[in-house]
Structure 1
Amino acid sequence: MRLHTLKELDQSEGTHVAFTAICAFTFLTNYGIGGLAPAFFILHLEFHKSMTETSHVLLWPILVLGLFNFFWVPMANYFGKRPIFVFASLLLCVSYVWGAVATSFRSLLWSSIIGGFAGSSSEALGAAMVNDLFFLHERGAKMGIYMNAISGGNTLGPLICGFVVQSLGWRWHKWIAVIFTAVNFLAVLFFVPETRYDRRSELVGRLSASNSIQVLPHSDSEADVEKANEPTTRQAKRSSTGSHSPIPKKTFVQELRLWSGTSDTNLLKMFLRPFPMILYPAVVYSFLCYSVSLVITVAVNILNSFVLQAPPYSWDAQINGLINIPGFVGNVVGAYLGGRLVDQFCDWRTKRNNGIFEPESRLYMLIFPFLITPAGCILFGYGVERNLHWMSLFFSYGMISVALTATPTITMAYVSDCALPVNSDALLLVNGLKNIVAFGFLYGVIPWVEEVGYIACFGTQAGMFVAIVGLGAVPLIFFGAAIRHITAQWRIIL
């Protein structure tokens, strides 16, 4: 499997530092906003707001995190990813300062919304940068780390916040976020380079001497491009040796520049280009899987403080935060199942398939969240409604949290494999739409629970997960290759 000719990025320590800074950015977005969950009961009492109104501190930023993907990604594709990340990381820090000094619920809510606006730049763009920085055989593991950074903010954040709120007050949760985001802003400013890279034009330029290259106009995977062009690649290398100098490596000062020029594509076209991709089955499947995984996990995150800090459990905030320990463990397990284990499984299948990589190989590993997460939903519903021992809530949250990293790690890597040349647009749809769908469900989760109870609510969510993740994977596993070859001929990408 020869894929390295399609990526010329230096896999140096700088690459991993840049990746770490991006992961920290997305972690701190969810840490500062979603991490406030253990303080919801306290905020509900301090600002005299209902349970539903208090949950808006998390719900509206979730919507913003999705919607403004449709703003940041086209801007980054046009102006470059580096200036977007530098500006957004600074804005995130400022929004947390605002939240720390907020004197009213409305002010706190708007600071979280602005934080969501800034942090939304990290969701689709961060996943796209994984594909910019790493090779195909590394993407599963790296995407797993990235998804752990996203979900870790929603698990480690509340865990830390519980102790901070109990000892110092909820404002100190924001001040701690300010300190870390300020440090990370400096890391982004000095160590995250511009990763925007025109693979197709570079490939064509390198092979122009042969005059016989076959370029697939809408190739459905990086491996297909390489396979189609492998014979002429060898010919072009022989004919062009010595006539094409490698791209010179930029100096550190050059890497610090915020301006790297604009894309040749019209900006309006950049904004419109992603939407037709909703017709691709891989994109639809990925965003639905991510949506249902996010809905279930955040529903528990919203509700657990109202459950555990009220009778019969009557926990204080710092003890309430401990429920995120199994959540974090579930995230780590899910990231491994959806990341490194998937890479190893794909390597094994590729060897058995005469060296031909098929993106659908990733989907087999969805069996793990398919079995674990619905069982966790049912256990959580029964645990709360029947006042079972708190250990049932711990185990159920851990089982539910497996899906938040495993499912999107697998499906987003699958989308990237199928649509690498336009992966940032595809991942924009996945990340943008899943937050919008999640907001719609989560906005009504408290009234839903109050009306039908926890067993019916979480039983329904378990059924949705089984239907979307399980039934959706079957046709893609068996007919995915045929579907990719058919959709590769579509002329819907602007």
Structure 2
Amino acid sequence: MHQSDTENPREDIHRVLRWSFGVLNPKDTVHVPGSVLLLVGHNPQPTSSTPSDVNDGAPTPSAEEACEESNRNKKTTADGNIILDPQPDNSPHDPLNWPKWRRDAALIALGFYCMVGGGITPLLAAGFTDVADDYNVKVSRVALTTGLIMLGLGIGCALVSPTAIIYGKRPVYLASAMLFLATSIWCALSPNFTSLLIARVVQGIAVSPVEALPSATITELFFLHERAFRIGIYALMLLGGKNLVPLVSATIIHRWGWRWAFWVVAIVVGACGLVLFVFASETFWDRTPGKLPDSTRNKNDRQGEGYLQTDEKTSDMGGQASQANSNQGPLPSNRPSCEMVNLVETLEEQNTSSITPASSSSEIRGHQDLEKKIADHHGSPPRQNPYTNRMAAHPRATFLGHLKPWHGRLRVEERWFRVAARPFFLYAYPAILWSAVVYSCCIGWLIVISESMAVIYRNPNTYHFSAFSTGLVYISPFIGGVLGTAIAGKMSDVVVRAMARRNDGVYEPEFRLVMIIPVAITTVVGLMGFGWSAEERDAWIVPTVFFGIISFGCSLGSTTAITFCVDSYRQFAGEALVTLNFSKNIFHGLVFSLFVTGWIETDGPKIVYIWIGVIQLAAMLFTVPLFVFGKRARHWTSKQGFHQRITSTG
């Protein structure tokens, strides 16, 4: 028999469902990273702990009253049905408050750049034999031009991510475009095969931001309910580039030779750099509330420390919070939040303040003056990050102000080598490890197929296609990728909202994993069918259709892996994307490029792709235990304090 809410509110907090659509959800996993209250209009279970010593004997409101109070003070979409997560500040500089056209323009600008960057890996797929003839090397050796650019991508991800975290993403994007332009010219002018290989490694480093940063940028620009669709657009542009660019390059190689493929890329990259300069503004905005030393905070401040709300952000579907909710203040410090306390983990991971208990009185007064200035200006709470406080205190910037290439160091307290080491510690997180495996396979198999295109389609003993005809084969995976991305984004959001609605409005990242069912079916069938039909010398349309099916499943899988990873540990979004891409480029792309072409020449595509299909199926089956125990795993990583070890790594 449970006590009443007023007598013992902790009973209400722990009175949660044990299962949420198959997700193990016991009472000790109430507040963990990634679990958030997404939908209003329900009677959600309380999600915040209530320490007995917080209120010093003051009466504690019931759980229902806390939920109602929390919902009244949360910004929602214009229709009032979806709680904005994360909650925005009131400053016009907050990227979530930018006009919808500006946020979407930034996404499209990055998308086109990612299309070119994604397509540079299989750029020579249809021209392997031409490069081999030009440099008098074996076709199997030309596959190194793909493997080594992936080596550069892996190295580059580890370099650009900490740089972007500390100095900003905008200067990294602009520097990437300039280096990409230079290396494209280098490849076009390479006098020998060795020079071409070195150029491709450096080119991979230049292109690496298109894989390491855009997903984190999307997380900073869009809300949870908008995110999957936008990540789907990014995945479409990235994977579309891997399918569309080889088609265009095949036409160029057929008419003017493989060197002209790089000349055209250089021209396009120059145009993309100008578009990035205009539309890709800095999107960083710290959402960790600042705090003063204990001596400067009153009793109510200390009482409220146990009741931290989730990240703060803005906007209805287009970036503006509903008028009815836009002027609501924060929760009273003595009321528990109804939302999952994601910010608790964020504070533990970023618990670095420029003001300490040992600070002088002048420093404390300066900190208080800055807080008051921000509050008077826009009503936004002060943050731990000096850059965000400085931006929030300024009036609305002009268009020319947004064109500034660099806005100063974003994280003064961070050390570059410490940030660079974090992605490699994230393998200890089961959700990120799973995402790395799935993402590596989904993107990696498309690269493997691109390396075997010349062996299968241009071989005189099979289809004997020309470079142009081989390039036309990429129409099939392009169509499959478009369909897969369209379904992945919208269907994932629909499924998640439906499951959250049935789960008292609470969203669990594991709900995203339902999309792995069609991923497993299409990729395994496509891989095995592609190799089998190619060896049996079926009509060329048969393996080509299977190629499209593979691309469809890989688009679903890559989008699902990225979204699940970011939603599970959004505080590590930037570092996690490095983990995913490093795995894909080094452990999959580079390794398979060393032997897969020779393996096909020795055993034939049938044996090779059947084994690849088995590997893919085994990887997908790991989704089952993650779906069941994923929330427990997130709770375990939080309880073990992995985040503290990562952030303190020197």
Q: Which TM-score applies when normalising by structure 2?
A: 0.70
Whole-Å separation in 2 of the counterparts to 1:202 and 1:347: 32
Q: How does 1:426-437 map to 2 (within 5 A)?
A: 426-437=576-587
Tell me which of 369, 380, 384 is aligned to 2:530.
380
Find the structure with the greater CA-based Rg: 2
| Range moving further from structure 2, 71-80 or 293-302 | 293-302
Whole-Å separation in 1 of the counterparts to 2:290 and 2:234: 28
1:69 match? 157
Give CA deviations for 1:51-99 in whole Å, capped at 9, x if unaligned: 2211111110012112221111001111111111111111101111222
Whether 1:168 aligns to 2:256 is yes
Q: Which TM-score applies when normalising by structure 1?
A: 0.91
The answer to which structure has the higher helix fraction is 1
Give CA deviations for 1:385-423 in whole Å, capped at 9, x if unaligned: 111111111111111112332112101111111111121
Whole-Å separation in 2 of the counterparts to 1:427 and 1:25: 18
1:422 match? 572
Contact 1:32 1:173 in 2 (8 A): no
Whether 1:343 aligns to 2:505 is no
Whole-Å separation in 2 of the counterparts to 1:4 and 1:416: 13
Contact 2:85 2:312 in 1 (8 A): no
Whole-Å separation in 2 of the counterparts to 1:351 and 1:64: 44
Are the structure 2 counterparts of residues 136 and 63 from structure 1 closer, same or farther at C-alpha, using a change threshold of 3 Å? same
Deviation (angstroms), 1:237: 13
Deviation (angstroms), 1:487: 1.6
Are the structure 2 counterparts of residues 37 and 115 from structure 1 closer, same or farther at C-alpha, using a change threshold of 3 Å? same
Whole-Å separation in 1 of the counterparts to 2:455 and 2:210: 30
Kindly, what percent of the aligned residue pairs are identical?
27
Contact 2:523 2:554 in 1 (8 A): no
1:225 match? none
Q: How does 1:160-199 map to 2 (within 5 A)?
A: 160-199=248-287
1:32 match? 120
Deviation (angstroms), 1:11: 4.1
Whole-Å separation in 2 of the counterparts to 1:61 and 1:382: 29
2:592 match? 441
Structure 1 letter corresponding to 2:169 = K
Whole-Å separation in 2 of the counterparts to 1:310 and 1:76: 44
Tell me which of 367, 372, 383 is aligned to 2:517.
367
Tell me which of 433, 448, 458 is aligned to 1:299.
448
Whole-Å separation in 2 of the counterparts to 1:406 and 1:63: 25
Structure 2 letter corresponding to 1:321 = G
Whole-Å separation in 1 of the counterparts to 2:408 and 2:333: 29
Whether 1:120 aligns to 2:185 is no
Structure 2 letter corresponding to 1:473 = T
| Range moving further from structure 2, 6-15 or 191-200 | 6-15
Structure 2 letter corresponding to 1:258 = P
Whole-Å separation in 2 of the counterparts to 1:74 and 1:451: 42
Whether 1:6 aligns to 2:87 is yes
2:629 match? 479
Whole-Å separation in 2 of the counterparts to 1:203 and 1:6: 18
| Range moving further from structure 2, 279-288 or 191-200 | 191-200
2:464 match? 314
Whole-Å separation in 2 of the counterparts to 1:268 and 1:448: 39
| Range moving further from structure 2, 481-490 or 393-402 | 481-490
**Which of structure 1's runs of 4+ aligned residues deviate more than 6 A?**
219-222
1:461 match? 612
In structure 2, list runs of 5 or more residues that go unmatched: 1-37, 39-82, 89-93, 314-327, 336-371, 381-391
Whole-Å separation in 1 of the counterparts to 2:156 and 2:111: 19
Give CA deviations for 1:267-299 in whole Å, capped at 9, x if unaligned: 222122222211000110011111122232111
Give CA deviations for 1:194-220 in whole Å, capped at 9, x if unaligned: 11221223799xxx9962144779x99
Contact 1:31 1:158 in 2 (8 A): yes
Contact 1:385 1:455 in 2 (8 A): yes
2:544 match? 394
Contact 2:523 2:553 in 1 (8 A): yes
Are the structure 2 counterparts of residues 284 and 408 from structure 1 closer, same or farther at C-alpha, using a change threshold of 3 Å? same
Are the structure 2 counterparts of residues 203 and 186 from structure 1 closer, same or farther at C-alpha, using a change threshold of 3 Å? farther
Contact 2:87 2:311 in 1 (8 A): no
Whole-Å separation in 1 of the counterparts to 2:118 and 2:193: 19
Tell me which of 35, 55, 58 is aligned to 2:143.
55
1:102 match? 190
User: What secondary structure, in the 3-state scheme, does the structure 1 residue paired with 2:406 have?
Assistant: coil
Contact 2:455 2:597 in 1 (8 A): no
Structure 2 letter corresponding to 1:327 = P
Give CA deviations for 1:231-282 in whole Å, capped at 9, x if unaligned: 99333699x9975634343322222223323212122221222222110001
Contact 1:35 1:153 in 2 (8 A): no
Are the structure 2 counterparts of residues 203 and 197 from structure 1 closer, same or farther at C-alpha, using a change threshold of 3 Å? farther
1:227 match? none
Whether 1:451 aligns to 2:451 is no
2:404 match? 257
